[in-house]
A = this chain, B = another copy of it.
Amino acid sequence: MAPLKLGMVGGGQGAFIGGVHRMAARLDGCFDLVAGAFSSDAARAHASAAELGIDADRSYADFSEMAQAEAARADGIDAVSIVTPNHLHGPIAEAFLTQGISVICDKPMTATLEQAESLTAAAEASKGHFFLTHNYTGYPMIRQARQMVADGALGAIRIVEADYLQDWLSHAPDADNKQAKWRLDAAQSGGGAIGDIGTHAYNLACFVSGLRTSSLSATLTSHVAGRLVDDDARITLQFDGGARGHIWASQVAIGNENNLTLAVYGEKGSLRWAQENPNVLWFAKLGQAPQMITRGGAAASLAAAAVTRIPAGHPEGYLEAFATLYREAAEVITNQGKSGAIIGIEDGLDGVRFVDACQRSSRDGASWIDLR
Contact = CB atoms under 8 A, between A and B. Distances in A.
A225 to B, nearest CB: 10
B290 A255 contact: yes
Nearest to A19: B309
Contacts of A170: 267, 286
19 contacts: A3-B53, A19-B309, A161-B248, A171-B267, A171-B286, A219-B236, A234-B236, A255-B270, A256-B313, A257-B313, A257-B314, A258-B312, A258-B313, A277-B315, A288-B299, A289-B293, A290-B292, A292-B292, A309-B319
A331 interface: no
Contacts of A29: 22, 26, 53
Contacts of A2: 53
Contacts of A16: 311
Contacts of A6: none
B253 A270 contact: yes
B255 A269 contact: yes
A257 B296 contact: yes
Given A167-B284, A254-B266, 19 more contacts: A26-B26, A29-B53, A170-B286, A219-B236, A252-B265, A253-B263, A253-B265, A254-B286, A255-B265, A255-B290, A257-B314, A258-B313, A275-B314, A278-B315, A283-B289, A289-B294, A289-B299, A309-B319, A315-B315
Interface string A45-81: 0000000010000000000000000000000000000
Contacts of A257: 294, 296-297, 311-314
A99 interface: no
A306 interface: no
A118 interface: no
A318 interface: yes
Contacts of A315: 275-278, 315, 317-318
Tallying the copies of this chain within the complex gives 4
Nearest to A284: B255
A278 B221 CA distance: 31
A287 interface: yes
Interface of A: 2-3, 16, 19-20, 22-23, 26-29, 53, 158-159, 161, 166-167, 170-171, 217, 219, 221, 223, 232, 234, 236, 244, 246, 248, 250, 252-259, 263, 265-270, 272, 275-279, 282-294, 296-299, 309-320, 365-366, 368
Contacts of A298: 287-289
A115 to B, nearest CB: 27
A254 B279 contact: no
A282 B286 CA distance: 18
Contacts of A284: 167, 254-255
Contacts of A285: 254
Given A252-B265, A284-B254, A313 B234 contact: no
Given A310-B318, A312-B258, A253 B297 contact: no
